[in-house]
Structure 1
Amino acid sequence: MSSPRCVGIFAIMVMVVRLSILTSASVIPTGLGGGPVSPELGLYDLNDKVTVLTVNNFNDTVLHQNRSLLVEFYNTFCGHCQRYAPHYKELAERLYPWRETLLVAAIDCNAFENTGICRDYEIFAYPTLRYFSPGYMCKEGNYGQFVKPNVKVDDLAANMAQRLVAENGTDSLPNFPNLHSVTENEEKNLFEGLDSNRKLVILAYEPENTTVGLESVLNFHLWPDVQVRRITDLNVANKFQIDGIHYKIATVDRQGNVVPYSVKEDTPQAYVATIQSILEAQHFKPRSVEVKKGVANTAQVPDDETGRTAIISEVLRNKHFVYQADLEMAIRQMLFNEIPKVHEIHGEQLLALQRILGVLQRYHPLGPQGNEVIRRLHEYVLNANESVNGGDFQTMLEHLNKTLGPIFSSNHFVGCVSSQHNKRGYTCSLWTIFHYLTVQAARLEISNDPLEVLTAIHGYVKYFFGCTHCSEHFQAMATRRKIWNVPSKDEAVLWLWAAHNEVNNRLAGDDTEDPQFAKIQFPSESSCHQCRRSDQSKTDVNWDKDAVLSFLKNIHNPGFVSRYGIDNEAVLQPSLDKLRQKRRVGNVFSEMDMRMGMLLYGFCVIMMVVAFKLFAIKGYRKRPYMHDALGKV
């Protein structure tokens, strides 16, 4: 029988071995530098002249104001929005002197917190520009005036000037400039009603079909020493020595002295430069007006650069890997942002929602909780009579996510990480989840419909995807590539792969391309040598489609999806590696326990023999017998 001390030592030894094995097996590198990578910031920051709007300051900035407002509703990942951003920044810079009359602002509809605002204002395309008049109040059917997002800043500035002059009741608004043209009745006393600090009145002749006078007034509204007025009537202008040919600007002081000035050309820039030189020569300066630039979403702080660098290094080493984090980020964006932005989902749009949720329910990469959430969402939209409200969908989703527990294992991109601000991200992850879904449909054969996933993808991109131009390109490509004629699920996998490569070819070298992740024809030679035939030309790749199909099925196999960088693996199904490790650790434990038991048994037997010899045999002595008459006693 073994002693309690021997059993205690044995138990400690087993525990130490088990802990060492479990510890070494559970170390999963995150590549995050100690923290998760946060979502991307918007296209504008506090260094731009664009006022950043969020749900926290939108109403205070837009509603019941004594000035007008131009707002861009955009999506960070939208390629057209990214291309338009420099033009909008240029416009904001140019109109910055107008800020007391017209504020230039923007709101990122890609931020989850702003989803409700973009839904309430019925934003259906990106970028969308809306003009809000002074005193604007939000009500049904009035969500601001649509403005075409013109890339020609001159035209857009002229548009804004014309809208401002057309405002009703501008004279009753405090601090609003006088945009009316000087009349004959005013020519005798231009200073009537002006503050005594006004030392000069500057008159700017505005030729027909131009806004040079309007823009001059707006540009110098913040200069307290002067009043800039426009003149459209050449007869009135002549009385101030303005001939409309050589002299087009004149200054008038309180003593009635008139000084005419020439302007090189009839452009707002030339007028503004001339007037500014006049004012600076007399040492006049504008008064300062502070504009609240807004506060960026606190959840959207810059990524930890060390963590980002580690992720990029990992991804560049494994360019063909599919990452769990990216699949989840695509689903997160679809469910929590894109779908809820639609105010009323009905008709073909509702059918598209039912299809994409049905496909996600069958082939998603989430864990048990995620499966239940998507199942209930699918059931919710299937039971809808005629329509689903985007806000109600969001409320239902948030309730399910809260009651059923977390459904995502990460909140950042890994394989779709960007090396530069606002590159890749969601669009990359959306392609990833689309490929994953087509492969799962081909692998599992749950449905016999070869167009099951492609139909769902087409409907989602058409009705919900937040990049309008991208959606239009995809729909045109789908028609041209005859998406509805795909005969099998394997062909569906290849159709989407070929379509993706076409998009990569179109966008290669574009401003939206990430410099460290060039848009190539996938898979690359290094990722799949057998996918490319040796007789390929320099321009077109001669693909071995059988090898490509095998490659795509392999990298999108759930057992091979990389979990590098995830934060909470507990919400997922156990990976193949975990299952193998569990079996392996179980085998190690049983073999080790058996060996230790045999060792302990042998050790205890030896100890018992030694104890017997030391004590039992040593204590036995041959005693002398006493004799008597009868013999031995």
Structure 2
Amino acid sequence: MFRLWLVAVAVLWAACGCAGRSARLYTEEDPLELLSSGSLKPAVINSSSAWIVQFFSSWCGHCIQYSDTWKLLAQDVKDWQDAIRVGVLDCAQEENFDVCKEFGIKFYPTFKVRYIHCYYTLCVCVCVCVCVCVCRPPLELLLTPCLCCQYFKAHSASTDRGVTYRGADREIQAVRQLMVSILQNHTELERPQHCPALEPYRSAELLPLIGQRSDHYTAILVEGPDSFMGREVILDLLQFSGVQVKRALSSELPLLDTLKITTFPSVYLLQPNGSHTHLHSPKPLRFFFSSLLRSLPGVKRSSRLDRPSYTAVGLGDKRAEPMREFNSSQVYIADLEAALHYLLRVELATHSTLEGEELKVFKDFITLVSKLYPGGGSVGRLMETLSDWLIRLPLHTIPYKAVLDLLENRVGIPGVFLGAELRWIGCQGSMAGLRGYPCSLWTLFHVLTVQYDSDQSALRNTGLEGEAAPVLQVMRRYVRTFFGCEECGRHFERAAKDSVDQVENAEQQVLWLWEQHNRVNNRLAGSLSDDPLFPKAPWPSPSLCASCHEEKNGVHVWNRNNVLHFLRRHYGAANLSQRYSVSGPADIAPRHTSSPEREAEGRAGGGWVAALGFTGVDMSLCLLLYICSGLFLMLLFFFFKVRSRRWKLRYSRLPL
């Protein structure tokens, strides 16, 4: 009896301890389907794809603790959704009471799988309360929820509720392999519409393909008989065209002898021109194989959704000019220049005047860029000139036209220039309207976080040095105030509100921005904004940083230390390319020079005006003030001259 009381206390403690975040375990931003009483049956009944649905309760401590795992599972198999989809339904919501009762949900979490054309059932486990009374299992077993799956027939009747299966292993790898088994147990006619064959090929079927020309790549993945990797890679490439993956077992000796394969798993690549070779992978892991195949030339994400046909000027469905050659392992100054050009001449132009909070945010942004911009040259000098002008100008309202005049250098300050051309290089897209400015803005802030990490003294005496994450805070305020995509701004603000205050140093600042960028890529992968030639994927890819990727319990994980080292090197000053830059050559070096030294550099390149410690704008204002003062003095002179003459005339006519 005491043991039962202890179990009850433990369960209540687990539920109450997680109550703070149980209000809403899943949101629209998660890569899964949020189902309800009205959408459950239309989604899973008579569906062309399989489904795995978790029925949970928002008050259940197990469900709360397991929610992060379920989200990771959904993200891990996001590209499988044409074959099998992941969903959730909250049985604690009053409107869902009836449907949960109808589907026989008694315990949480319960996982129901919609299984296409399933003609067999699996046994149901004994309920937990019986286990307590009879088996008396240990406490930790009672606190471990069972995995429950429900199988449905395709085009089943509305009265069919399937059969529930429960399994003790609830880790991502086990559930993922369960999903693979569900799909493979279909016949060819019963298979989901967009699910390829998962059965292994024989040597007699694969050997004739060697040396044959084709319109796509063929990847032969050879693995052991108990491996799931081949089937998982096939499903990972489900939404990509230009490559087909076929699996074979290590028992196919004729195939192994012909291809000279001795290690497993291995991938042998048949190219469209008839040539063939081993696909070298730094690590024999699922993530590496999938990423390498996705990055092959001509392989792109396919979508059954038609892209919109833009009719606005400059937004046609074809590129106006050919793709520029670029190296994905480098960062291009031209992208940073294009980002600043669009930001200052297009996005900022929607604000006719800058005042109050807008003016403060703009000043902070210009100050940040002027201190951390690594490109130097005319753009760096322009940012410094603009920053000095904003700081010294004692105005609470500034018209945008004044900012534009300085950007266009209409006062003739030597060595100050920002090209008025959107020349994307590393951020160019396969068609107009893809990548471009958002990509370059991410790149700009990545560069700024790394520059600040290398020289934190650069922001001394700017008013920004007191913040733990100054680059992120300025970026947050800029996106909230000026960024044109309102929905994007709300997403970024939500992410910043949740975690940016937890960033305590420059290293965490670099990693936080990288992590958020990957989350955005994961959310937008496969959407209309995703470029088919440059699909959004976890970055950096294995080809850029193999040591950044690891696998734990069959699930991809990041080596954050190696990621930080890569980011410092990739976005560092030494990796910035001046090719295609329109600002002219400049010495690219980390900003380690002190403020007096940088002022001396500006004076050396700015002529006698800069040598006095003033910018061209300062001198222009002084000249204007001098002219106005001269005119005012002349008016005073004529005023008193006329007044004195009248006085003399008046008193000269008085009678003696």
Same fold (TM over 0.5): no
So what's the TM-score if we normalise by structure 1?
0.40
| Bigger Rg, structure 1 or 2 | 1
Higher relative contact order (CA 8 A, sep 6+): 1
TM-score (norm 2): 0.39
